[in-house]
Chain A
Amino acid sequence: MNFQFTAEQELLRKAVREFAETQIAPLVDEMERTDEMPMELIKKMANQGYYGVTIPQAYGGSNLGHVARLIILEEIGRISAAVSMSLQCLQFGGGCLNSSGNEAQKQKYILDFVQGKNIAAAAITEATGGSDPSATATEAIEHKDYYLLNGRKVFITNSNIANMAVVLAKTKDEPKKEFSAFIVDKSMAGFRAGRVENKIGFKGCGTGELIFENCKVPKENLLGKPGQGLAIALKGISEYGRVGIIGVALGIMRASYDAALKFSRERVMYGKPISNLPAVYYRIAEMYADLEASRLLAYRAVWLLDQEKNADVEIAAAKFFVTEAALRCTRKAMDIHGGYGCVKEYAVERYCRDAQLLIPADGTNDIQRMVVGRTLTASKK
């Protein structure tokens, strides 16, 4: 066994850390105040190649893979969970295009996606609940050379800045429900963003509605074949969405741990730094164990993806473990900060608000337990 990152991966981590500390950190306070994503940052991240990390070089990506993607999300999440969340969801949209798009679709959309010109949302969740994509009510009625799309997607990350989306819609009701995926862009009339939710965290990363009203989608924008929509969506949710959430969670955990450690060494009580108190260093130890266990689970799961192996169970297990560990860590970081943990001058309260949003995202953690539990108990081994 070898638990070391490669020299190239270490270099990547260093480069992304530098980018996050110099280009993103100065924007965080403003994002918290305005709840808006600086569009200049989208362009900068595109220039760095972050959108194309899993996209082949033939389409303008670097094809560094899923481990590299997780490194990027962790390092950016360490500085801003909101930016990491926005990035991972855009990678999700681009990932679906890459894994299921035909050559013409890739030529038309992916090159601009990698350059940050196409901002691609993944539009799956509806009011019926994100955990049950088979309840999707958005309809795509087939016509001669187009599909007519009608419906409303909710809780769509980047809804306010997206100019295109990969959309899951029902294409058949009888004899059996059938779902297909479509590439919809803003040039198509009837596609618009709706209201943006006022969330407790991820400030700056918009989450809201995407609305399709008699939206004519040309047939060449069908992603994959008719009826493959659910498979495309579920693969995207697992390999991009859940992994993305795991990356954001690792970043939040790292930031919480670093903040707690620093504060405990600097804050003096009873004449000594509070890091000398068992109540404090027990918490630090628990945070460290959570962080290390999470990183091992997470990086092994994405390493499997890079080996082109199915990792749905490993990813689902990592998703619920890592996000709950992140929430635990942020609470402990707040506890260690005492009263200061509850004031906005210290970032730990932001980490805690952001961490809570990880739990329901990309399949609630109960859904993850279901994926893992059902698979394990169904196995004959």
Chain B
Amino acid sequence: MPGLQIAVCVKFVLDPKDVSEESIDSATGIINRAKYKLVINPLDKHALFAARQLQKVAGGVVTAVSMGPPSIAEDLTEILSLGADHAFLLSDSLFAGADTLATSYTLACGIKKFISNFDLILCGAKSLDGSTAQVGPQLAIHLGVPCVTNVSALSWQQNGFFNLRMKLEDGYLSFTVKPPVLFTVNRNLNTPQPPTLMDIVMARSKKVTVISNQDLGLDLNHVGLAGSPTRFKDMFYPPSKRKRELLSGLPEEMVNTLFQELRTKGIFGQ
């Protein structure tokens, strides 16, 4: 067996450290992404790390697939240093404004064309920004493969099957699944490690291929804004109800004030 052909879908999102209430343009209600540094969606790092661990056991090739503006091509080097052997960036102004349906369709077409013999597609369970958790399952439908979401444990067996655990709200479901298959993973799956110096050196010789719609020839009614039934309505910063109050005085006085306050708020009863 030549090993596993694994594709990992990676999204670049705004670095939450940079985003604040002021980031949202009050006139348009949107964030100008070009102004901010983008980082790998945290759960996608778990997917990449899982792919790397599976590759160590089963061999094969890990290919990363991302969709975004051409400016992130350089950022894809980080993905290569995190274990991907090759990366595809689907980038075209025609893809801009895509919702989850158009995104998953475009990703599926790119994967079908360039990684047709895949055994496993890995995605983060959701993205930090949109947080819909839709792209993974939609992608599985486009690709015609089974999908297990919210995977928190994953291993590969010599007989070619995957053993995995899907996290539910109040428990787990265990599966044995035959490839080809798509999993979306959560943060309990593993603890991603930063790249080593040799990972960074090795990334030099790996390739990022930028794919446009000229390469894919997709129906324009299914990509970008035109292919997106979802329309953005508004974006706002959630109002913070937290407030900080500093108590002063002797310890007994401060404790009494605190208890009084908590009682007033009904936390300790009246």
Chain A contact residues, CB within 8 Å of chain B: 7-8, 11-12, 14-16, 18-19, 22, 47-50, 52-53, 57, 62-64, 68
Contacts and interface: CB of A to CB of B under 8 A. Distances in A.
Contacts of A68: 197
* Chain A interface helix/strand/loop/mixed: helix
B117 to A, nearest CB: 30
B16 interface: no
A47 B204 CA distance: 20
Contacts of B81: 11, 15
Interface string B83-124: 000000000000000000000000000000000000000000
A14 B81 CA distance: 12
A271 to B, nearest CB: 13
Nearest to A63: B201
Contacts, number: 45
Given A11-B195, A15-B194, A49-B196, A64 B201 contact: yes
Nearest to B45: A18
A49 B194 contact: no
A173 B179 CA distance: 75
List the 10 closest A-B pairs by CB distance, nearest first. A49-B197, A62-B197, A15-B194, A18-B194, A49-B196, A15-B195, A19-B194, A48-B196, A62-B201, A7-B74
Interface string B203-245: 1100000000000000000000000000000000000000000
Contacts of A11: 77-78, 81, 195, 200, 203
B196 A8 contact: no
Contacts of A48: 194, 196-197
A263 to B, nearest CB: 15
Contacts of B203: 8, 11
Contacts of A14: 78, 194
A63 B196 CA distance: 13
9 contacts: A8-B77, A8-B200, A11-B195, A11-B200, A15-B200, A48-B197, A49-B197, A52-B197, A63-B201
A49 B200 CA distance: 10
A302 to B, nearest CB: 16
A7 B196 CA distance: 16
B250 interface: no
Contacts of B204: 8
Given A11-B78, A11-B81, A62 B194 contact: no
A64 B197 CA distance: 8
Contact of B198 (A7, A8, A49): A49
B95 to A, nearest CB: 24
Given A14-B194, A62-B200, 16 more contacts: A7-B77, A8-B203, A8-B204, A11-B78, A11-B200, A15-B81, A48-B194, A49-B196, A49-B197, A50-B197, A52-B197, A53-B197, A57-B201, A62-B201, A63-B201, A64-B200
A15 B201 CA distance: 13
Contacts of A63: 201
A74 to B, nearest CB: 15
Nearest to B78: A11
Nearest to A46: B196
A58 to B, nearest CB: 13
Contacts of B198: 49, 62
Contacts of B194: 14-16, 18-19, 22, 48
A11 B198 CA distance: 12
Contacts of A19: 194
A47 B196 contact: yes
Contacts of A22: 194
A15 B83 CA distance: 13
Contacts of A62: 197-198, 200-201
